[in-house]
Structure 1
């Protein structure tokens, strides 16, 4: 199984956003050394919880710090940018790091209404034409004349670079068929809501048409994982994330607690039931248990690659998650 990394540059309690970006660099270097296949940076706006707001910038920086691992966006949020600008950005990245860049696209805003309107400079955000914008960006990246009248006389430079891999992200299955028809990879965010089904992934494969960006279908699935040498230690490190999600579901936003604070946090019986239910989107256990679960999921669903997102409180514990999984699966 291929293993990859999804990083949101989390800012845990007592840490800084700038520090979170340096920790992303440390994670990229370690992932490169361990043999992880790719690392994507997420795009989040209007939050102090995650520092990754410009994943395309981070990808270029991290590519310069690594040798083999693929770098990209998981994803760049399409609604905020011109297809021409996206094409220019990712062609530039590919010129600097040929064969190592991923153009991963998401259709969500990645932030609240205020940031969404600010990013569109006060204009009404366009939610209806995401796939058309994606098509135009792909055509421009591939040095084709776009079908969209606005871009027909535009070219995206640098020209004739090695194409990045193109990926469409999803969390409900709505974009699976669209990704297949366009001949791009499909990335399913299982840690969003846990609604992945075999039918969704099979629909992508059934509708896949080879393209200049990808010859055969590729699927990666992103999981939230907390693991350690023992299940008990993993549970201790996982509890802050469990409580953060519990509070997030109630509209309460704040820094992720330390493990010590989470251990002593008062939980009602209902809270415990919700956390238990949320464990379908937060995999917690020893490294061997998690490795076995991922292998079982791959055998059942038929995906190619597991993308791991992990948010223990300290950087050392976070790096240990990726070390332990590499030991079991790579």
Structure 2
């Protein structure tokens, strides 16, 4: 099974944005050494707890620090950008790091309504079809005429470069058919809402049409994961991440607590009930326990690759999650 990394460059309490991005560099180098298939950077705006707002810039830097691992965006939030600009950025990245770049896009805003307005420079949001925008971008990437006359008089440069893999992100199944019809990979965010199903993936495969970007259907699934040598230690390390989800449900995004502060946080009975319900979105346990669950779900749902997101408070604990999983699944 392919094993990969989804990084959001989290900023734990007491750390800075610069610290977080420096940690990302070390994570990419470790993933490269351990045999992880790819590392994707997310795109989040106006979030003081996350540093990954410009994933295409970060992966350019990471490509210069690594030798083998694929690097991409999980994903570029395409509502904010012109198809021409997206095509030019990823053709440039592909020319600089041939056969190692992934163009991953999503339809979500990656921020609140204020950041959406700011990214649009205060202009009214244009209700364009995101799937049409993706199709136009793919055509520009492939040096083709588009279905939009606005882009038919321009060329996305650099011209005639080997193209990146292309992926469409989803968390509810709504994008499965379009990912298939447009001939791109389908990336499902299981850690968002836990609604993965075989039917979603069967729909994607049924509608899949081979393309330059993806000759056969490919599905990866992103999980939130915490592993440690013992179950008790894993639970201890996992609580700050569980609290972060609880705060997010309240419209808050504070920096991740330390495990000690998380243990001392006063939980109401309702909080405890929500944490228990949300635990289905966070795989916690020993490396063997979690690896067995991942392999079981791969067989049950029929996907090809696991992407691991692990936003531990301690950077060493984050690295150790990836070391332990690699030892179990890649050795």
Using the size of structure 1 for normalisation, the TM-score is 0.99
CA distance in 1, matches of 2:125, 2:102: 25
Match of 1:321 in 2: 321
The answer to whether the aligner puts 1:81 opposite 2:81 as a matched pair is yes
Whole-angstrom CA distance in 2 between matches of 1:214 and 1:127: 28
Matched with 2:42 is: 42
What is the CA distance between 1:329 and its match in structure 2?
A: 0.4
User: How far is the alpha carbon of 1:253 from its aligned partner?
Assistant: 3.2
Using the TM superposition, give the Cα deviation of residue 159 of structure 1 relative to its aligned residue in structure 2, in angstroms. 1.2
Larger deviation, residues 236-245 vs 31-40: 236-245
Counterparts of 1:311 and 1:184, CA distance in 2? 28
Shift of 1:269: 2.5
> What does 1:1-330 align with in structure 2 at a 5 Å threshold?
1-330=1-330
Q: After TM superposition, what 4+ stretches of structure 1 lie above 6 angstroms from structure 2?
A: none
How far the C-alpha of 1:123 sits from its partner, in A, is 1.1
Q: Please state whether the residue corresponding to 1:322 is helix, strand or coil.
A: helix
> 1:246, 1:275 within 8 Å by CA — same for their partners in 2?
yes
State whether residues 79 and 127 of structure 1, in contact with CA within 8 Å, keep that contact through their aligned partners in structure 2. no
Over residues 113-141 of structure 1, what are the superposed CA-to-partner deviations in whole Å (9 max), with x where a residue is unaligned?
Answer: 11101111111223431111111110010
Secondary structure, counterpart of 2:104 in structure 1: strand
* Local SS of the residue matching 2:226: strand
Distance (Å, rounded) in 2 between the aligned partners of 1:126 and 1:252: 27
Question: Per-residue CA shift, 1:121-177, capped at 9, x if unaligned?
Answer: 111223431111111110010011112010001101111111100000000100000
- Looking at structure 1, the residues matched to 195 and 306 of structure 2 have their Cα atoms a distance apart, in angstroms, of 16
For the residue of structure 2 that corresponds to 1:200, the secondary structure is helix
For 1:50 and 1:275, locate their aligned partners in 2 and report how far apart those are by CA, in whole Å: 22
Structure-2 separation of matches of 1:126 and 1:212: 30
Within 1, Cα distance between the matches of 2:48 and 2:55? Answer: 16
Aligned-partner Cα distance in 2 for 1:131–1:125: 16
Tell me the CA shift for residue 251 of structure 1.
2.5
Q: CA deviation at 1:91?
A: 0.2
| TM-score, normalised by the number of residues in structure 2 | 0.98
* Runs of 5+ unmatched residues, structure 2: none
Instruction: Report the CA distance between 1:252 and its aligned residue.
Output: 3.3
CA distance in structure 2 between the aligned counterparts of 1:220 and 1:111, rounded to whole angstroms: 24
Structure 1: gaps of 5 or more residues: none
> Secondary structure of 1:138's match?
helix
Contact 2:48 2:253 in 1 (8 A): no
Task: Summarize deviations over 1:240-285 as a string: whole Å, max 9, x none.
Answer: 1111211221223322111001111122222222111101111111
